[in-house]
Chain A
Amino acid sequence: MTSLNGDNFKPVLLRRLGLPNSQTLNSYRADGGYTALTKALTMQPNELIDLVKASGLRGRGGAGFPTGMKWSFLPQNVNGPIYMCINGDESEPGTFNNRIIIEEDPHQILEGIVIGCYATKATTAYFYLRYEYGRCYRTLQKAVDEMYAANLLGKNILGSGYSLDIYLHRGACAYICGEETGLIESLEGKRAWPRIKPPFPAIEGAFRRPTVVNNVETMACVPHIVNNGAEWFQSMGVPKDPNNARDAGSYGPKLYCISGHVNKPGLVELPLGVTARELIDKHAGGVWKGRKAKAVVPGGISMGFLSADELDTPLDFNGPGKAGCLGLGTAAVVVIDDHTSMMDVLYNCCRFFAHESCGQCTPCREGTAWSTKILERIRAGHGKLADLDILEEISASIGTIPGTTICGLADGAAWPIKNALKKFRPELEEYIKSGRKSESPQLVGAH
């Protein structure tokens, strides 16, 4: 098995980025599009699930759950419809990978969706798209229309006897709609309050039917796995840790969103396991203005922070966890330079979560708002050292895994606080002792 890691890596998901008319069906077909679907339709659904299982594909939405396993959780011999929901409610701060691939290469995703639906025997797919992504919506709608016209959707797809409908659903402008069951509630027209589990969506999901919820990028990987096989997919990334039976490995290409204080922010595709340092220095042109990185968000602010000493952490599904972060998340790397106050960064995070907490569970609803209030006061120059202890206690009660709330987003709200206090406590204490005020009471881009 030749490794495709490193310099000879050729983009997979982004390979058609920037081609003229890359959004159109003709262009996609000219590049070999929909051959995977044709191939998949000749296979049995179970074979496809086994293939995806064998590839080790893990969900790109944040939790990293093995996709094939998720599909296999659906009950057998279901009487009635099965639904697939595509989670395009990309709202983790710093994340924009879905947006780019939807806008540039929608057919790649849609082909993956049709294959995924065929494998799970779903008859309807709901593409839940973040409301703010208007351009994505228009691009996708055009692509879906093209597919219906070309019999890639609708009744009896390509003469296979399999029928599928895809509906685009524009979201409700809330972070919580990106949570699996919050998304389903929102799709059903309700308030996006995550459901208690069990029952899991695979048993009782959208409209109380068995449902699979997958991320956009996950689905984009599926056609490539069908075309190139599981072995090819496993040639990229970080293999399983033989000493850890629970490790499912981190295989395949991953879209890394790099933003923050770097010279060249953007989206790069690399095999899983690239280090934060390599991403910043090699792919993002280094930290801006010749400064040094103080902290790096490994995968969206809910994952916490890597300190400057931890930049060699590989960004695979296990790496950030070993460095004390929550996980890889969406692989949205936000670089914070050494001129930035961690108090401001922390405040910005907390403000986001206080704004976006759905308000269902007490610890998250009240805790996020309280921590924001405390940080507001500290930033106004009225901090006390004891505030840091309260913040720590709040973060523990909101839920640093094991969580104390219905959904995992509360854990996400707690992690930046926990990490900042653990890794940057001297700086935070110094800030409070100095009694200084932050200059920008309102930070840009908090939500």
Chain B
Amino acid sequence: MPETQVTTALVNDVPVEVGPKENVIQVARRAGVEVPHYCWHEDLSVVASCRMCLVEVGETKPDGSVVMGPKLVPGCQTPVKPGMVIKTDSQKVKTSQAMTLELLLLNHPLDCSICDQAGECYLQDYTFKYGKAQSRLDEPKVQREDKYHIGDQIALFTDRCVMCTRCVRFTREISGTAELQVVARGSVEEIDVFPDEPCNNKLAGNVVDLCPVGALCSKDFLYKKRVWWLKSQKSVCPGCSTGCSIEVDQNENQVYRLRPRSNPLAQGNFMCDDGRFGFKYVVDERRLKTPTLKNSVAANGAASRNGNGHANKDLADLVVADPWPEVMKQTRERIKAAVKANGSDFAAVLSPMMSVEEAYLLASFLKGLDSRVRLLLGPVPVAGANDCYPKGPKGEAPATDKTKFTIRNEKCPNRVGVEMVLKHFQGAVVPLEKAIEGSSTINAWYFVGGYPQGWVTEAIDRAVGTPNLLIVQDIFPSPLSMRADIVLASAAFTEREGSFVNHAGLAQSFKAATRPIGEARSDGRLLSELLERKGLYNAMVIRKEIGEEISAFKKFGGGDLGEYGISLMNRQEVGV
């Protein structure tokens, strides 16, 4: 044996580097070996109760011989030391895995055909890989009543539960609200809540993700779609400035659910229910679905079609005309005319819902026309104070260093990113509210909205009045869009691609999961056309350009922000 310091452990005879404070599951995972487990989760305390992760461990003696321990040990509870020998595929381990699975499935109803979890269920997966095909139970199964009342957003299918207690530990350790608990004992025990105290905390939806089986289900998603039809797209939640990494699960252009995507740089493994269930506005009936032109000869469809040069009158009624080329042409021309009249009287309001790329395109377009064009930061929605978890026994917020999850009061994803763009183009960030204080000479406005709820306050409405030119790029109708000269129907976050910079300066990219509703267009595409850029809108290309042009964004580099995103600055610098 070499005398050098051993730094590796052997997982099924493959040497793997051992990190500090790693357990068998984590080390094996890095070796590409799956140690099946139910109760262990990296963010929760170790209980080692499911006994699914039992493995054989041994150690290498100084003389090079390997001595295996007599007992199977739980992988989740066993820290790995260099020199340790781990066997996850010995007959002893396999027998134990098969028996544990048979026991877990003993009282399981096997109702996969009507279970929401089917397809992403660890009972299914592990039984397929490690279990037996048939149960030897001859007796009736323990049947327990389902509990729809367990939470406003979650339902408990009691008899599918494997008692891993992940959900119980989540409400105790992460949300701190401790609604869920184990009642009764032995094989008839079950998860429950106190009467009339359902699990309704703002992180409750996470227990559905944590549940390795189909016991806890999201009522919102329940029976809506088989998971194997869903396609996932990596995205970022726009609900607040935490910027949780998420997966958008869609099928046939319809978003069915959002799930947190693990990101140690952003939020960890969880997301809040506001974000999780707050995507419904994306498919709201009231959304702006087509662009409109007003006060223009080309305002109606027929004129637009003629303008598009659809000469064949016979076909004109049959062909659904695309209004966009005419709208974009008019928009471009009227902006240019207004800026030419007096650049300093033209104001563009960039909303903190915009991506960095969109803000950059609009700002560079307008500043390219006339550097006196005023760029303003749109309203930043703020609701109360930051909501920090885990809550104390009386619902009090935790100490800063004990905080495990924060729902931020800034209800927009990209104030930091937009401000960085604004700073680059005009040195200072001027909020809209400030610009409309007192009298202003602005008589041409370009508004970008994109907020999930109304954002045009009475003050904004009054200050804007009836200007010479009013362009609104938004997803919902507003008092401004009602009287706008041009309304550009734009897209919600699942329909766009780009990047957001969160509260801590972490830039994360997101991709479009669905096509925009109706004839609305993604903001990026729309702005690309405004700039008459060649080719399809590609956020990565624009990020590369931004990286080259704006020093604050130089870390954008080649435009690829990776899975977790790139931190643009350290925490102290996030004073923007």
Measured CB to CB, the residues of A under 8 A from B are 174, 191, 193, 196, 354-363, 365-370, 373-374, 376-377, 390, 393, 397, 402-406
CB-defined contacts of A193 to chain B, threshold 8 Å: 49
CB-defined contacts of B136 to chain A, threshold 8 Å: 390
The answer to the question of B422 belonging to the interface, with a C-beta cut-off of 8 Å to chain A, is no
Instruction: Report A377 CB to chain B, min CB distance, Å.
Output: 6
Q: Which of B49, B52, B71, B103 contacts A370 (CB 8 A)?
A: B103
Q: Which of A360, A374, A397 contacts B100 (CB 8 A)?
A: A397
In the bound complex, what is the Cα–Cα distance between A121 and B138 (angstroms)? 55
Closest 7 CB pairs of A and B: A369-B187, A402-B71, A366-B103, A373-B139, A397-B99, A359-B189, A357-B186
Q: Which of A354, A365, A368, A406 contacts B48 (CB 8 A)?
A: A406
Q: Mark B26-66, 1 if CB is under 8 A from A, else 0.
A: 00000000000000000000111111101000000000000
Nearest A residue to B185 by beta-carbon distance?
A359
**Which residues of chain B (75-95) have a CB below 8 Å from chain A?**
77
Instruction: Report B99 CB to chain A, min CB distance, Å.
Output: 4
Q: Please tell me if the beta carbons of B139 and A359 are within 8 angstroms of each other in the complex.
A: no
Q: Mark B349-382, 1 if CB is under 8 A from A, else 0.
A: 0000000000000000000000000000000000
Nearest A residue to B106 by beta-carbon distance?
A366
Q: Please tell me if the beta carbons of B139 and A365 are within 8 angstroms of each other in the complex.
A: no
The answer to the question of B163 belonging to the interface, with a C-beta cut-off of 8 Å to chain A, is yes
Q: With A359-B182, A362-B50, A397-B99 in contact, do A404 and B72 touch (Cβ < 8 Å)?
A: yes
In the bound complex, what is the Cα–Cα distance between A361 and B137 (angstroms)? 19
CB-defined contacts of B443 to chain A, threshold 8 Å: none
CB-defined contacts of B72 to chain A, threshold 8 Å: 402, 404
Interface of A is mostly: helix
CB-defined contacts of B188 to chain A, threshold 8 Å: 369
Given contacts A360-B49, A368-B186, A370-B137, 18 further A-B contacts (CB under 8 A): A196-B46, A356-B185, A357-B186, A358-B186, A359-B163, A360-B163, A362-B103, A363-B103, A369-B106, A369-B186, A370-B139, A373-B137, A402-B70, A402-B72, A403-B71, A404-B54, A406-B48, A406-B49
CB-defined contacts of A368 to chain B, threshold 8 Å: 186-187
CB-defined contacts of A362 to chain B, threshold 8 Å: 49-52, 100, 103-104, 162-163
Instruction: Report A279 CB to chain B, min CB distance, Å.
Output: 33
Nearest A residue to B186 by beta-carbon distance?
A357
Instruction: Report B542 CB to chain A, min CB distance, Å.
Output: 52
In the bound complex, what is the Cα–Cα distance between A377 and B46 (angstroms)? 37
Q: Please tell me if the beta carbons of B100 and A363 are within 8 angstroms of each other in the complex.
A: yes
In the bound complex, what is the Cα–Cα distance between A402 and B163 (angstroms)? 24
Q: Please tell me if the beta carbons of A361 and B51 are within 8 angstroms of each other in the complex.
A: yes
In the bound complex, what is the Cα–Cα distance between A374 and B186 (angstroms)? 16
Nearest B residue to A176 by beta-carbon distance?
B185
A-B contact pairs, 5 of them (CB 8 A): A359-B186, A362-B103, A363-B103, A367-B103, A390-B136
Nearest B residue to A354 by beta-carbon distance?
B186
Q: Please tell me if the beta carbons of A365 and B163 are within 8 angstroms of each other in the complex.
A: yes
Q: Please tell me if the beta carbons of B52 and A365 are within 8 angstroms of each other in the complex.
A: no
Q: Please tell me if the beta carbons of A377 and B139 are within 8 angstroms of each other in the complex.
A: yes
Nearest B residue to A194 by beta-carbon distance?
B49
Instruction: Report A427 CB to chain B, min CB distance, Å.
Output: 22
Q: Please tell me if the beta carbons of B163 and A397 are within 8 angstroms of each other in the complex.
A: no
Instruction: Report A194 CB to chain B, min CB distance, Å.
Output: 10
CB-defined contacts of A374 to chain B, threshold 8 Å: 138-139
Q: Please tell me if the beta carbons of A377 and B138 are within 8 angstroms of each other in the complex.
A: yes
Interface centre among A361, A365, A368, A405 (most CB of B within 10 A): A365
CB-defined contacts of B99 to chain A, threshold 8 Å: 363, 393, 397
CB-defined contacts of B184 to chain A, threshold 8 Å: 359
CB-defined contacts of B187 to chain A, threshold 8 Å: 354, 357, 359, 365-366, 368-370
Q: Which of B47, B139, B162 contacts A196 (CB 8 A)?
A: B47
Q: Please tell me if the beta carbons of B186 and A405 are within 8 angstroms of each other in the complex.
A: no
Q: Please tell me if the beta carbons of A357 and B139 are within 8 angstroms of each other in the complex.
A: no
Interface centre among A362, A376, A405 (most CB of B within 10 A): A362
Interface centre among B77, B136, B184 (most CB of A within 10 A): B136
In the bound complex, what is the Cα–Cα distance between A406 and B52 (angstroms)? 13
**Which residues of chain B (162-203) have a CB below 8 Å from chain A?**
162-163, 182, 184-189
**Which residues of chain B (457-496) have a CB below 8 Å from chain A?**
none
Nearest A residue to B142 by beta-carbon distance?
A369
In the bound complex, what is the Cα–Cα distance between A360 and B50 (angstroms)? 8
Instruction: Report A246 CB to chain B, min CB distance, Å.
Output: 14
CB-defined contacts of B142 to chain A, threshold 8 Å: 369
Nearest A residue to B45 by beta-carbon distance?
A196
CB-defined contacts of A361 to chain B, threshold 8 Å: 49-51
Instruction: Report B163 CB to chain A, min CB distance, Å.
Output: 7
Instruction: Report B170 CB to chain A, min CB distance, Å.
Output: 17
Instruction: Report A358 CB to chain B, min CB distance, Å.
Output: 6
Q: Which of B51, B104, B139, B189 contacts A405 (CB 8 A)?
A: B51
**Which residues of chain B (111-154) have a CB below 8 Å from chain A?**
136-139, 142
The answer to the question of B235 belonging to the interface, with a C-beta cut-off of 8 Å to chain A, is no
Nearest A residue to B189 by beta-carbon distance?
A359
In the bound complex, what is the Cα–Cα distance between A365 and B189 (angstroms)? 9
Instruction: Report A191 CB to chain B, min CB distance, Å.
Output: 7
Q: Please tell me if the beta carbons of A404 and B96 are within 8 angstroms of each other in the complex.
A: yes
In the bound complex, what is the Cα–Cα distance between A405 and B100 (angstroms)? 11
The answer to the question of B107 belonging to the interface, with a C-beta cut-off of 8 Å to chain A, is yes
Instruction: Report A337 CB to chain B, min CB distance, Å.
Output: 30
In the bound complex, what is the Cα–Cα distance between A406 and B100 (angstroms)? 14
In the bound complex, what is the Cα–Cα distance between A360 and B137 (angstroms)? 21
CB-defined contacts of A359 to chain B, threshold 8 Å: 163, 182, 184-187, 189
Q: With A377-B139, A404-B96 in contact, do A366 and B182 touch (Cβ < 8 Å)?
A: no
Q: Please tell me if the beta carbons of B103 and A357 are within 8 angstroms of each other in the complex.
A: no
In the bound complex, what is the Cα–Cα distance between A355 and B185 (angstroms)? 8
CB-defined contacts of B71 to chain A, threshold 8 Å: 402-404
In the bound complex, what is the Cα–Cα distance between A366 and B108 (angstroms)? 11
